[in-house]
Amino acid sequence: MAVEQSVVTEAWAVERPAPAARGPLRRVRRAVGPPGPDGLLLEVGACGVCRTDLHLAEGDLPPRAPGRVPGHEIVGRVLAVGAAVRGFAPGDRAGVAWLAWTCGTCRYCRAGRENLCPAARWTGWDVDGGYARHVVADARYAYRLPEGPPDEELAPLLCAGLIGYRALERAELPPGGRLGVYGYGASAHLTAQLALARGATVHVLTRSAAARRLALELGAASARDAAEGPPEPLDAAILFAPAGDLVPVALAALDRGGTLAVAGIHLTDVPPLDYDRHLFRERTLRSVTANTRADGRAYLAEVARHPPVVHVRRYPFEAADAALADLAAGRVTGVAVLLAGPGSGQVPGLRP
């Protein structure tokens, strides 16, 4: 049965884009809800801190509206449901991801490629996201989540995991193939484990010594600086670091017929490519745009069979600015997660 309910919540909004070290977020109080006919009102338990949030806060992604609340890796409990909602009830555990809404009628939606819908809306960019105690989301784009794993371990699956899944599919890694992973943050450490579970050999290329250690602990065959290159030619590669200058580096590491998938929503400029060295012999360069709901269901089913080790750095709700600053400065190994539930407390050394 639908419940008409609204709440006044605390949230962090992008007041004015600025470098993360200068604190671009502002703490606000807002009315949230009631949910519309297809909506859910959620009490947020945790929200992952994604590099896309950093791009929005720093202005790499132009804000779609002033005072937008970022965050699109949301785990929460349903407080109220809209009149048309089926499959969710108050008390259920739900997840909200980057894809917030699509038109359902364009040629991309009709072809099962809703991630390319020109009218698509995105959580934390077009609609307020999960840097909040409460959020409203469209139930048709939310996911039923299992009981058991803590909120902070499920939250990163809803973007870091999903975009990695999509990137791995786009990279067309053959069975038992050799995968290069460039950058080793939130998405990469989940995607590498997914590839390993599928039987791949994974080589990690990252400048971070801490990330290289984590990669080896989680089963990578090698972990090196990108400038050093992998120890063998790659059948496929995924670029997670938002650094365009790594595109020719990764292409040059591919074997004949290999594919490089670029997973980021933002990338610095790509330098000129040498056709023979970087593209000839049927090497492929392709981008990745978000994910479909079918991707989400398939990925969550796969990780239920092969649960990843989610390397989490937890931040209290009060430390959202600190989480973004740490991500910008490369101080996060694995994934940063805001704990939004009551009594999330303080972490010594973090600025509220």
Model confidence pLDDT, tens digit, residues 293-334: 999 999 999 999 999 999 999 999 999 999 999 999 999 999
Q: Is residue 248 part of a domain?
A: yes
Q: Are residues 205 and 259 in the same domain?
A: yes
Does one domain contain both 120 and 227?
no
Residues 96 and 181 in one domain: no
Question: Do 137 and 95 sit in the same domain of this protein?
Answer: yes
**Is there a single domain that holds both residue 30 and residue 127?**
yes
65 and 278 Cβ atoms separated by less than 8 Å: no
Q: Which of 287, 302, 324 is the last residue of a domain?
A: 287
CA dihedral 309, 226, 242, 182 (to 10 degrees): -40
DSSP 228: T
Note whether residue 300 is domain-resident: no
**Judgement on whether residues 33 and 128 belong to the same structural domain of the protein:** yes
| Residue 172 shares a structural domain with residue 144 | no
Number of structural domains, the chain?
2
262: in domain = yes
Residues 180-192, mean pLDDT to the nearest whole number: 96
Q: Return the axis-axis angle of helices 186-197 and 293-305, rounded to nearest 10°.
A: 60
77 and 207 within one domain: no
Residue 352 lies in a domain: no
Asked if residue 317 and residue 234 are part of one domain, the reply reads: no
Q: Within 10 Å of residue 123's Cβ, how many Cβ atoms? A: 28
In eight-state DSSP terms, residue 347 is: -
- pLDDT confidence bin for 119, thresholds 50/70/90: very high
pLDDT tens figures, 161-181: 999 999 999 999 999 999 999
**Do the domain assignments include residue 208?**
yes
Q: Do 127 and 165 lie in a common domain?
A: no
- Whether 118 and 226 map to the same domain: the answer is no
136 and 196 co-located in one domain: no
Place 344 in a pLDDT band, splitting at 50, 70 and 90. very low
Task: Indicate whether this model's pTM tops 0.95.
Answer: no
The residue segments making up the domain with residue 30 are: 7-149+310-339
At 170, which CATH number? Answer: 3.40.50.720
Q: What is the mean pLDDT of the chain?
A: 93
Is 296 part of any domain? no
CATH number for the domain spanning 68: value is 3.90.180.10
The C-alpha R_g of the chain, in whole angstroms, comes to 20
